[in-house]
Structure 1
Amino acid sequence: MGRNTRKRRTPLATKIVAGAAALAVGGGGLVWANFYASAHEDHGGHNRTRSAGAQVATIDCPDVGQKIRDVPDRARGEVDGELATMDSQITNAYQRLATTRRAQAGDAQFVQNTILGPLKDRRKAIIDRIQLEINRAGGRADDNLDELAGCQGRPADQQNGGGQNDGGQDQGGDEGNDDNGNGVAGPVAEDFVDINDVEPNSRDSRNGLAADGDGGSTGSFTTDCGVNENNLFNSDNLIAAPGVDNGAHHTHDYVGNQDNDAFSSDEDLANADTSCQNQGDKSTYYWPVLRLQDGTQEFDANDQGGGAEGNIGKILKPAEAQIRFVGSRQGDVVAMPKFLRIITGDAKSFTNGDANANTSWSCSGFEDRQVTDKYPLCPDGSQVLRTVNFQSCWDGQNIDSANHRDHMAFVQEDGSCANGFQAVPQLQIRLAYDIPTPTVENGRVQNPYAVDSFPEQLHKPITDHNDFINVMDEDLMNEVVDCINRGEDCQ
């Protein structure tokens, strides 16, 4: 499978992460250490005593980016770069956590003294620089950001049960991995649910409300942009980490615009080719890839964002990617501005909490059963579905904001926009996958599928997210708006 080969600069943060990549082995995945090992376990591989609460499973850091407001435009690039460096620091600390289990078992203060303490100091230095950059550009930085420097070790709240890891391997004197035998931390059995066990219409849908309904603007516009037949992949994030190589720390699928990497300018996007049938739609639509953890060596098996950061296995392209725009239940919609950026969902929701989570997993034929924090186990002949309804209320002024969220909002329960925001066409994406159903035996999942994630997010399904940059030409956007407001279904 191919990849995006555009030559890019390699910033210092990525070079630092590359040191951790030296831990990559065999299948390209890091040897993630046993999250559940007790200091008293038998290292022969049998009769292990689990003590999940006694060890730290992952690192939980306050999300500084979500707390930043009113960053002057001329400081945005520097601030985004600093935040990306902070993400790299968390990745490094997590990899250190995962490969020092034996030392942790022998020293109750090891994590605090050698991982979390130094991490706090490094984060404090970055926060100081962010405050300086904001103030230097004429803004006023929040003096309380320093309170976000400290991170916590988070104990495992899910474990694989009583299954043994007879195939564990020692690397560098540390514990062998004890996940699903695949060399990465997650997903685990508790991350999956039989779709038949999900109650119909039970999903908490305070986020991602469908904007369309019986009233208002009832039309729709569907754009066909394929399923990434051109194999455009990278681990950048043009919205959240512009100018930073591997800013996402996980690999994305791209459809639509074909010039998507961290260094693409608006001019690059406007002049690029598109995979959309309507050539007036050069918008970029992207999401983290799904992988089947079956031992397949993908093109990125030894790369940052791929196997070197725990994202391993066969990349699964959607069998179908339905992209459509719908209207508002309360009235007409207005045109989106060109280059409007929208992030929906939260790639860090396992540690951040679900305030910005916007995940919906289901199976074809069971669409009334939606889950946010589980991967569905679908019956034979049923496809795994990922669906998302984007924010559709725009502040009327900005194409982006300092935290990449404040310029957009979800509709209220009645379908209206609050705080003077305007209704724009709501983007809805439905991805359907043909995936062999994983089996769960003795508390362990075999051949699981999982969304790519930041390493410390452990491939949790609630971390699913989706990104969009509007690069429709003016005529096409006006056509979309007119079609929706007239109540027609167009494509």
Structure 2
Amino acid sequence: MGRNTRKRRMPLATKAIAGVAALALGGGGLVWANFYASAHEENSPDNRTKSNAARQIATIDCPDVGQQLSDVPERARGEVDGELASMDQQITDAYQRLVTTRQAQAGDAQYVQNAILGPLKDRRKVLIDRIKLEIDRAGGKAPGNLDELAPCSGRPADQPQPTDGQNGGGQGQDNGQGQGDGQGQGDGQGQGEGQTPNDNGNGAAGPFAEDFIDINDVPPNARDLPNGLAANGRSGSRGSFTTKCGVNENKLYNSDNIIVAPGVANGAHHMHDYVGNQSNSSLSSDDDLVVAETSCQNQGDKSSYFWPVLRVQDGTQEFDAADQGGGAEGNVGRILQAEEAQLRFVGNKRSKVVAIPKLMRIITGDAKAFTNGLKNANTSYSCTGFEDRQSTDKYVLCPEGSRLVRTSNFQSCWDGQNTDSANHRDHVAFVQADGSCPNGFKAIPQLQVRLVYDVPTPTIENGQVKNPYAVDSFPEQLHKPITDHNDFINVMDESLMNKVVRCINQGKKCT
């Protein structure tokens, strides 16, 4: 099949930034080297102070407006999703301006605030006003606090700097009211200067040495997130159903997100692997999904299973090295194809399960968890032979002979009415501590995705990681492992879904 090449709508903001991205390309990856270029200019105490202050602002932290929109009338959702996608583009543009103006920042302590964050606040406010208007026109009522979400802030570095060889500053917000934009084309300073030493070709967009941990140092049977990974099926419905859909041998890739940004090209700002449904793009309608081809062995399963690709930052020039969603947005290196992709549905600890509605959308994890926080983070990394040890906030280093395991367990409670929700989360929920669903929710089969990769183990020397692997991410999320996530659209036919439910409720193991 190959990667998706259908013509898709490209927002004006995306077109505008494409020219800037082209200027910033070097060696196939976006030259984020300017992030630290000012550190090399002068060694006077004054200049060192200025450059250190500038280097502290590592990325842009913006409140997630979409997660606050729990009640958007159905007929306004398309327009609102489009505005939210434009808001994501604004952040991407602002982050690009941040990393291509480091020299200007070194000479002006207020540069980030005045030239980047201030304009971003103004532009976000315009889109927020549009969202409120669209909701009101459709007969809904927008949350009263949306205007408070317009300001963004600069987030200080919390990782070793490529040229320092030692730890940088801690996490935290800047002192100013964050605002910013990124529509600006930059002032040309610091562009095209080549890659910073030891930046793995991504120009300091991560990951960093402190993003990795030896699997032996991960405590067994412990995670620090509220959404556990334990299988649900223990007593209530103990069966399972495994669907075999391959590992994306067809190399179907795109940087769309049909769930969050339908109709918008590059709505994800990172590349996805797709298995199952072979017609998933931003342009796909429900009818397109239903009649599509599938990579699943059981042709009754046309569901779409998709996740961000994993890459090794080894200098490889992938097909998307100059593209939005790929190298032009800091996602560089060789795309890894999983050796195994296990897609398994299991039951509920306390009750029988009901069928997953056709065309139900579920997202697990949070692509913006680095700036949003851990509330919705829900993926983990481990190694074969060590799967009692699961790490979500660190990538793991596996010993020789062990392979990387990447796991996502989806929400398994449904509100009984909706196949999606305005923020793409409220229609589903995780089980409670005792394994039951929240009041008003029904247990559905829980999708568990287990991906296994043969990944060269990165090396860490003098506080720097060489040839790391990393999940694709929004540029401003710095390839943090906490941003990993997984997506599912149920397109099983009725007879197959009934089989899934029957197998699980009868305690059988089916394929």
TM-score scaled by length of structure 2: 0.91
Residue aligning to 1:340: 360
Q: Is the 8 A contact 2:195 2:201 kept in 1?
A: no
Q: Is the 8 A contact 1:345 1:463 kept in 2?
A: yes
* Alignment partners' CA distance in 1, 2:495 and 2:201: 53
Residue aligning to 1:5: 5
Q: Is the 8 A contact 2:349 2:436 kept in 1?
A: yes
1:184: how far off?
A: 4.6
Residue aligning to 1:291: 311
SS of residue paired to 2:438:
coil
1:142: how far off?
A: 1.6
1:14: how far off?
A: 2.1
Deviations 1:410-433 (A, max 9, x none): 001111001210000000000000
* Alignment partners' CA distance in 1, 2:197 and 2:267: 27
Q: 1:162 to 1:9 in 2, by over 3 A?
A: closer
Residue aligning to 1:155: 156
Residue aligning to 2:182: none
1:361 to 373, 381, 406: 381
SS of residue paired to 2:241:
strand
Q: 1:163 to 1:77 in 2, by over 3 A?
A: same
SS of residue paired to 1:478:
helix
Deviations 1:272-303 (A, max 9, x none): 00000000000000000000101111110000
Q: Is the 8 A contact 1:361 1:386 kept in 2?
A: yes
* Alignment partners' CA distance in 1, 2:324 and 2:468: 22
* Alignment partners' CA distance in 1, 2:372 and 2:480: 12
Residue aligning to 2:411: 391
Q: 1:205 to 1:89 in 2, by over 3 A?
A: closer
2:160 aligned with 1:139: no
2:260 aligned with 1:240: yes
2:302 to 276, 282, 298: 282
1:38: how far off?
A: 6.3
* Alignment partners' CA distance in 2, 1:438 and 1:108: 36
Query: Which shifted more, 230-239 or 24-33?
Result: 24-33
Q: CA RMSD in A?
A: 2.2
2:291 aligned with 1:271: yes
1:3: how far off?
A: 1.8
* Alignment partners' CA distance in 2, 1:184 and 1:473: 46
Q: 1:181 to 1:237 in 2, by over 3 A?
A: closer
Query: Which shifted more, 301-310 or 51-60?
Result: 51-60
- AA of the residue aligned to 2:154: G
Q: Is the 8 A contact 1:163 1:444 kept in 2?
A: no
Residue aligning to 2:68: 67
Residue aligning to 2:230: 210
Residue aligning to 1:257: 277
2:118 aligned with 1:98: no
* Alignment partners' CA distance in 1, 2:350 and 2:385: 30
Q: 1:131 to 1:178 in 2, by over 3 A?
A: farther
Q: Is the 8 A contact 1:36 1:51 kept in 2?
A: no
SS of residue paired to 1:114:
helix
* Alignment partners' CA distance in 2, 1:230 and 1:16: 32
Q: Is the 8 A contact 1:4 1:231 kept in 2?
A: no
1:398: how far off?
A: 0.2
* Alignment partners' CA distance in 2, 1:161 and 1:27: 18
* Alignment partners' CA distance in 1, 2:394 and 2:451: 16
- AA of the residue aligned to 1:25: L
Residue aligning to 1:433: 453
1:201: how far off?
A: 1.5
Residue aligning to 2:425: 405
Q: Is the 8 A contact 1:35 1:55 kept in 2?
A: no
Residue aligning to 1:466: 486
2:480 aligned with 1:456: no
Q: Is the 8 A contact 1:186 1:458 kept in 2?
A: yes
1:170: how far off?
A: 5.4
Deviations 1:347-370 (A, max 9, x none): 000011111000211011000111
* Alignment partners' CA distance in 1, 2:295 and 2:193: 49
* Alignment partners' CA distance in 2, 1:290 and 1:172: 27
Residue aligning to 2:31: 31
* Alignment partners' CA distance in 2, 1:337 and 1:211: 21
- AA of the residue aligned to 2:276: G
2:465 to 445, 454, 459: 445
Aligned-pair identity (%): 75
Residue aligning to 2:14: 14
Query: Which shifted more, 5-14 or 190-199?
Result: 5-14
2:328 aligned with 1:308: yes
* Alignment partners' CA distance in 2, 1:213 and 1:355: 24
Q: Is the 8 A contact 1:451 1:461 kept in 2?
A: yes
Residue aligning to 2:504: 484
SS of residue paired to 1:476:
helix
1:2: how far off?
A: 4.2
Residue aligning to 2:216: 196
SS of residue paired to 2:408:
strand
1:381: how far off?
A: 1.1
1:171: how far off?
A: 2.7
SS of residue paired to 2:105:
helix
* Alignment partners' CA distance in 2, 1:92 and 1:351: 16
1:213: how far off?
A: 3.6
- AA of the residue aligned to 2:77: R
SS of residue paired to 1:404:
coil
* Alignment partners' CA distance in 1, 2:39 and 2:249: 49
Query: Which shifted more, 366-375 or 4-13?
Result: 4-13
Q: Is the 8 A contact 2:253 2:274 kept in 1?
A: yes
1:42: how far off?
A: 4.3
1:115-134 paired onto structure 2 within 5 Å: 115-134=116-135
How many residues are matched? 485
1:318-337 paired onto structure 2 within 5 Å: 318-337=338-357
* Alignment partners' CA distance in 1, 2:402 and 2:231: 27
Query: Which shifted more, 169-178 or 444-453?
Result: 169-178
Which stretches in structure 2 are left out of the alignment for 5+ residues?
167-188
- AA of the residue aligned to 1:345: G
Q: 1:52 to 1:354 in 2, by over 3 A?
A: farther
SS of residue paired to 2:305:
strand
Residue aligning to 1:87: 88
1:11: how far off?
A: 2.5
Q: Is the 8 A contact 1:35 1:178 kept in 2?
A: no
* Alignment partners' CA distance in 2, 1:24 and 1:181: 12
Query: Which shifted more, 118-127 or 193-202?
Result: 193-202
Residue aligning to 1:111: 112
* Alignment partners' CA distance in 2, 1:163 and 1:111: 22
- AA of the residue aligned to 1:29: G
- AA of the residue aligned to 1:490: C
Which stretches in structure 1 are left out of the alignment for 5+ residues?
none
* Alignment partners' CA distance in 1, 2:147 and 2:226: 31
Q: Is the 8 A contact 2:346 2:445 kept in 1?
A: yes
TM-score scaled by length of structure 1: 0.94
1:21: how far off?
A: 1.6
